[in-house]
Chains A and B, each alone.
Chain A
Amino acid sequence: MSKYFLRRLLISIPALLGISLVLFTVLALAPGDPFEELATNPNVPPEVRANLRAQFGLDDPIPVRYLRWVTAMVKGDWGFSFVSRINVSTLIMQRLPTTLFVLGTAQLFGLLVALPIGVYSAVRPYSFFDQLTTTFAFIGFSLPTFFTGLLFILFFSIHLDWLPFIYRADISATGWRWAWEMARQAIMPIAVLGLFQGAAMTRFVRSAVLEVVRLDYVNTARSKGLSEKATILKHVVRNALIPVVTLVALQIPGIFTGAVITEQIFRVPGIGSLLISSILSNDTPVIMSITFVFSALVVLFNLIADLVYGWLDPRISFR
């Protein structure tokens, strides 16, 4: 298995290089530069902009810029942001904890909702409970997060005035007060994301369990006198969850890169909002790093998903 792992790892190097080349070329060909604000201000002479372009190497040919980027990246230097002129790695590390907290909790919340509901409705398909949850699940993943987000703000913040709708990463309070404030501000973004994730996952869990629950070995388990609980938990869920685990593993890279829209609506200072503001200001090094890290994580977690799959299901062998 370690041989398999190593081979997959080596294969991923050209894949990542290819991805980076495509990303870099697309970004380099995209029009615009990060000095928009200098342009409308007649007080800033145009030479200043020209100098900055030259200093940041924006006037060099694309292959030269790409090679420079790759060699720096290999050495672990992610470059610096054109806009804030600080290292991209610092910028990302500042945003990562918030994103991990909000998205990780949302993912967990989604799972906690999806698992029991999905299993229960699959065990009693087409019952009233199943119909109800199916309806809600459809509503849940049909409504885009920007809509539910605004709806939540309108209702809980403006109409009821219960919750703040501006997320602040560093609250000045400490102890219980800090926890309370944190919970109050995080509840809406987490709920919006968690419910969306949970709705989709409920459907997935339901269909996975439904497939397994009809199999002969489940009937065998029942007929040999196992309790319904033991049958479901030990025999059905365990086998049904194999594809669910893969799905969750594949979703993990998303936790690191944030949820662009939800972060924007609630002003959550995560990676997603960093990405969107960098795109809007043409801050190429930051966009490049985030998208590249994202693709690296996708490649990595694909590999992990494959390994986990094999571990859960011994019938699969690595060659």
Chain B
Amino acid sequence: MDEYGLKELITHVKAGRLSRRGFVQMMVGLGLTAPMAAQMLASAGVVQAQSKLVYKPTKRGGGGALKTLWWQGATLLNPYFAVGTKDQDGSRIFYEPLASWDPDGNLSPVLAAEVPTTQNGGLSKDGKTIVWKLKKDVQWHDGKPFTADDVVFNWEYAADPATAAYCIATYKDIKVEKIDALSVRVTLAKPTPFWADAFVGVRGMIIPKHVFEPFKGGKSREAPANLKPVGTGPYRFVDFKPGDIVKGELNPTYHMPNRPFFDTIEMKGGGDAVSAARAVIQTGEFDYAWNLQVEDEILKRMEQGGKGKVDIVAGGDIEHIQCNFTDPWKDVDGERSSIKTKHPFLSDPAVRQALNLVVDRAAIQESIYGRTGISTANYLNAPARFQSKNTKWEFNVDKANQILDAAGWKRGGDGIREKGGVKLKMVYQTSINASRQKTQQVVKQAAGKAGIDMEIKSVTASVYFSSDPANLDTYPHFSTDIQMYTTTMTQPDPELFMIAFTSWEVSSKENKWQGRNITRWRNEEVDKLYKAAEGELDPVKRAGMYIKMNDLAIQNVVVIPVVWRPRVRAIASKLKLEQSGWDSDFWNLQNWYREA
């Protein structure tokens, strides 16, 4: 689908022939993100849809205790150090951003009075400045007013390298000035099509200037408020024990009327995912459990006659297999998978195509993931009528055999194919995780039938996903032929995801394996498209370019998407809330309530 196709679809949405949600889903199916799809609609003047959840309580408080369970407890409560989602969620109870991402990818204002648009003058035509108008009469938990100074301070705090904020990239190249007490201007370094990053979502939680000012830069670790947050959120801080528990109580001066509903909130950590699901669904000891990496069969069994249910929400996480385009077994100047080499057989498109055909996604979904992993050829299964030919998947061992035969890969005496002395023997690596090891088995078996021999390798997650430049087993080193893992795509803009296919990002010894192109695949067209998209301000044109890049990567079988992994949470039957796949679990915590 190109720019014109997209424009046509948008006119359908405008005319009401296609639902807003349908459009968003389709775009996600094409490898984009919901926020980006929403941005396209906004630029075409389609009105934002209302949130599904209706908040019924008519007074503040009286809801008793809200008990939530995170099987990995929050370890810190400063949003700028909040590396893991557990820490971001813990911080989000107390801190709020200017705006959050709703399930459809729309910005919904929190501390902002309104979302900046070109229509209300918040966005400049050249895409370089954004004016945020802040909400009036917002108070910090200690009673001090929230003003533009706080927002400016947050930029100074995060952009200072000595602070060591994990989201420094969001803040270091922008400039933030105060216009008046309740408005700020953000100036971007270059025209940026996707401007909503700073002060938005999980990386945009605002901390108070009067509390953190003495602890900017090198002293950031010493701030007492790192452990005792003072925010603007619906709940005030009560107690925090790292890795164990976060407790909060109702904020009587919260800036939204009749909110929050609950008198206290508790976020308990520790244990494992299965017993967390059990505590919510079966015994009802807790109201909400996070990230249930549990086999669907077990969840289904718990749900029968239970006190809670499983809630599954679309997000952008994709479990995929990567093909190595360089030779992982040859050492060049102390570096394996060096860009100076070529993979002995994966550089042959026929082999990659055959590989794509032996991944039985239907079986993987059915027997391993169930509702918690949906088979995909792309970054989501878009409705069939919009699926392009390039993004269809097929499981067909016969066809794989034909392709390999045609390409001259002949079966040897041991049943393994070879050509010119090169055998189709590969090592398939992933992290240790029951579902992943089962997936490896399914793929290995089918590959065997096509004359491809696979050796399975699994690495402990804490090693595999580490950034240790000295360890060969990390995923950016990619010292095997193929590997599999999930990229979490919670960021609202696909730009950073697509950078993984550009030639200047190849992970190598030179950049200490910090480059983001793990497959080491290089393609001129992708490079050109990426550079063009960087400065393209028309969201529709830009979306077209990303779809094209995505298609190129899929067509060339650089990556083989396996399953799309939605967010899986357990919720008590009477608890009412709305999940968003593009923001923190607590993105609209103020609206959570329990039905009588």
Chain B interface SS verdict (over half)? loop
Cross-chain contact A280 with B462 (CB below 8 angstroms): yes
Q: How far is the CB of B207 from chain A (nearest CB, A)?
A: 15
The answer, yes or no, to whether A161 is at the interface (CB within 8 Å) is: yes
Q: Does A13 contact B (CB under 8 A)?
A: no
Report the minimum CB–CB distance from A57 to chain B (whole Å).
Answer: 13
Verify B462–A281 contact, CB threshold 8 A.
yes
Cα of A17 to Cα of B24 in the assembled complex, Å: 61
Closest to B279 in A: A166
Answer whether residue B463 sits at the interface, using C-beta atoms and an 8 A cutoff.
Answer: yes
- Tell me whether B272 is interfacial, beta carbon within 8 Å: yes
Q: In the bound complex, do residue A40 and residue B485 qualify as a contact, i.e. CB atoms below 8 Å apart?
A: yes
Q: Is the CB of A269 within 8 A of B245?
A: yes
What is the total number of residues of chain B having a CB less than 8 Å from a CB of chain A? 71
Q: Closest Cβ of chain B: how far from A206's Cβ, in Å?
A: 36
B454-476 vs A, CB cutoff 8 Å, 1 = contact: the mask equals 00000011110111100101111
Whether a CB of chain B sits under 8 angstroms from the CB of A44 is yes
Restricting to B468-503, which residues have a CB under 8 Å from any CB of A? 468, 471, 473-476, 485-491, 496-497, 499-500
**Bound state CA distance, A157 and B473, in angstroms?**
42
Tell me the chain A residues, 31-47 only, with Cβ under 8 Å from chain B: 31-33, 35-47
Q: How far is the CA of A122 from the CA of B322 in the complex (A)?
A: 66
A168 lies within 8 A of B81 (CB)? no
Check B467 against A46 for contact (C-beta < 8 Å): yes
A residues 133-170 touching B (CB-CB < 8 Å):
153, 157-158, 161, 164-166, 168-170
Complex alpha-carbon distance, A40 and B167, angstroms = 14
Distance between Cα atoms of A94 and B269 in the complex (Å): 15
- B264 in the interface, Cβ–Cβ < 8 Å? yes
- B221 contact from A80, A94, A164, A169, Cβ within 8 A: A80
Q: Which candidate, A48-56, A112-120, A229-237, A287-295, is the interface stretch facing chain B?
A: A48-56
CB distance from A245 to the nearest CB of B (A): 34
Say whether A31 contacts B515, CB under 8 Å.
Answer: no
Provided the pairs A37-B85, A166-B271 are in contact, do residues A86 and B227 lie with their beta carbons within 8 angstroms? yes
| Interface window among B38-46, B132-140, B235-243, B368-376 | B235-243
User: Which residues B488-528 have CB closer than 8 A to chain A?
Assistant: 488-491, 496-497, 499-500, 511-512, 514-516
Q: CB of A127 within 8 A of chain B?
A: no
B92 interface hit (Cβ, 8 Å): no
> Is there an interface contact between A85 and B243, defined as CB atoms closer than 8 Å?
no
- The reply to whether A170 and B239 contact each other, CB–CB distance below 8 Å, is yes
Pairwise interchain contact B168-A48, C-beta atoms closer than 8 A: yes
The residue in chain A whose Cβ has the minimal distance to the Cβ of B278 is A158
* Interface pairs A-B: 7 shortest CB-CB: A46-B514, A269-B244, A84-B75, A43-B491, A84-B242, A36-B465, A32-B466
Pairs A–B under 8 Å by Cβ, sample size 29? A31-B466, A33-B466, A38-B467, A40-B487, A42-B499, A42-B516, A43-B491, A46-B467, A46-B511, A52-B166, A80-B221, A85-B221, A86-B76, A161-B283, A165-B285, A166-B69, A168-B245, A169-B241, A170-B239, A170-B245, A264-B270, A265-B275, A267-B269, A269-B241, A269-B243, A273-B243, A274-B243, A277-B243, A282-B466
Given contacts A83-B242, A85-B81, 6 further A-B contacts (CB under 8 A): A46-B511, A48-B168, A157-B283, A165-B285, A269-B243, A273-B243
